[in-house]
Amino acid sequence: MTGEDRDLGMNDEHLDLEEELGAYLLGALSPEESRRVEQMLDSSEPAREKLDWMKPAVDLLAETVQRREPAPELRERILGEVSASLPAKAESARAPRERRSWFRIGGLSLQPAAAMAVVVLVVGIAFAGYQLGTDGGSTTYQGQSAKLTVDGDDGILQLTGVANPPPNQEYQAWVQRGSKLLPSSPIAVRKNGTASVAIPHDLDGAEAVVVTTEPAGGSRTPTGPVLTSVQID
């Protein structure tokens, strides 16, 4: 134990437990050992920092395995179980008011940059896109580097020529109603600069679909700059 360790209040047991952090993350400790490590982590910032440092290696172990594609039937079973768990009224024919419970409406407070983005968007909305046409019940709207196909109340947003978001950030879609932007789906960009995402919300009466840059994991209110938008009219 070095003098610095003593200065930090570490004792032999603490250092022994720190050496077990890798095993702790692997789940290889006994219940009693795990409990002692957790007690140490509760009281030691250096130990928590070391745990954070070690964690990516354990997380990535899961990605080192041979990649196998699951059968399409597995996807259907999982999504079928999800669908079956939904209340009946959520799947019934939609009146816009019934879908409202899926939206975060009211009380939205836009950060200044996002609020300004919405003002700019509303002002520029006339130049943001146009309707491409209607085909078999669906309607397609064109924006800058973006295309929205609306079928019934839902839509598919497609982006082209899109740069990847900055590290620890992601693109997120929003449905614009008046001055409000209602959160929709996160968007993953392919290496070739394209992206496709479902916009599951009721688009009937919506004015546009907007894409902004948000922190990884998404946001409940827009915080970042507008990437693109598609006017619906």
Binding residues for other proteins, rule: CB under 8 A, are 19-20, 22-23, 25-30, 53-71, 74-75, 77-79, 81-83, 85-86, 90, 102, 154, 164-165, 183-186, 188-192, 197-198, 200, 216-218, 220
Q: Which is nearer to other proteins, 172 or 176 (CB)?
A: 172
Cβ 143 vs Cβ 129: under 8 Å? yes
Q: Which is nearer to other proteins, 120 or 216 (CB)?
A: 216
Q: Tokens 């196998």 label which residue?
A: 68
Residue 116 Cα distances to 8, 86, 121, 178, 227, angstroms? 48, 37, 8, 14, 14
Q: Which of 188, 140, 182 is nearest to 162 (CA)?
A: 188
Q: Which is nearer to other proteins, 103 or 122 (CB)?
A: 103
Q: Which is nearer to other proteins, 128 or 203 (CB)?
A: 203
Cβ at position 103, least distance to other proteins in Å:
9
Region of residue 193 (phi > 0: left; psi between -120 and 50: alpha; otherwise: beta): left
Cβ at position 88, least distance to other proteins in Å:
13
Cβ at position 102, least distance to other proteins in Å:
6
Cβ at position 129, least distance to other proteins in Å:
23
For the chain, report the end-to-end CA distance as a whole number of angstroms. 71
Cβ at position 15, least distance to other proteins in Å:
12
Q: Which residues of 17-31 are buried (b: 16+ CB within 10 A; e: fewer)?
A: bbebbeebbeeebee
Q: Which is nearer to other proteins, 1 or 79 (CB)?
A: 79
